[in-house]
Amino acid sequence: MSLYCLPGAAAQELQIPIAIFTKGHAMPAYGWLLDPKRCIECRACEVACKQWNGVSTDINVRYRRVHVIEYGQFPDVRVQALSLACNHCDNPLCLKACPVKAIWRRDEDGAVLIDQERCVGCRFCEQFCPYDAPQFNMQLRKMQKCTMCYDRIAIGFEPACSSVCPTGALRWGEWDQIRGQGVSQVPGFKSPSTTRPRIRFVAEGWKQAKGSQPQPVVAAAARPGVSV
């Protein structure tokens, strides 16, 4: 189920007790499936994340960020957009690097979280995370990052970021259903071999309609109304 999006103040006031995750049965682990070819760089995921989590717009902290990656060699140069946040890795290096044990993993759903009361802002986690997920809040002097919107999950909704993606580029679901899809790495994403992040990528291109022929690439100078 998807819901977007209570105003930021209301989101902050929404207090979900931890006990809700442990009553009855354990919740499954979750992760993301990203299809880069569908991302149009609208950054709706960034906005939804900031609004739901009440992150101030006057500081350079974005739990989710859209990165534009250029790769390849001329003349085969390509560009793709990657919407990335904390991957809530199975082997989170940030957790191991924290000297005060402020970073911990929820057994119920696998979310890796930062205890703001314990965090001393030493930035060790920032140095060890290969995906630049933990970010230093200059106002609070604390580290912050994506929480997987565990408060939304608790009431049956998906994270704010995936709930507003207009093209279906960013999808979220049970990790057991996602882990076998796509590939583990694409250009611009650091090696997953050590951290084992809970994100997969759709690497296939657009499917060609049956019976259709690929359209030839026309030089810019040959197109009407296009100047070089």
- 199-215 residues labelled b (16+ CB within 10 A) or e (exposed): bbbbeeeeeeeeeeeee
Is 3.30.70.20 the CATH number for 26-203?
yes
Where do the structural domains in the chain lie, given as residue ranges? 26-203
Model pTM score: 0.78
| Phi, psi dihedrals of residue 26, rounded to the nearest 5° | -70, 145
pLDDT of the residue at 114: 97
Gap between the Cα atoms of 144 and 56, Å rounded: 12
Strands 112-114 and 103-105, sheet pairing: antiparallel
Cis-peptide, bond into residue 89, ω within 30° of zero:
no
Predicted confidence pLDDT, tens digits, the chain (228 residues): 434 333 333 333 333 333 333 333 455 799 999 999 999 999 999 999 999 999 988 888 999 999 999 999 998 999 999 999 999 999 999 999 999 999 999 988 889 999 999 999 999 999 999 999 999 999 999 999 999 999 999 899 999 999 999 999 999 999 999 999 999 999 999 999 999 999 999 998 887 666 656 554 444 333 334 333
Closest by CA to 151, choosing from 28, 24, 14, 10, is: 14
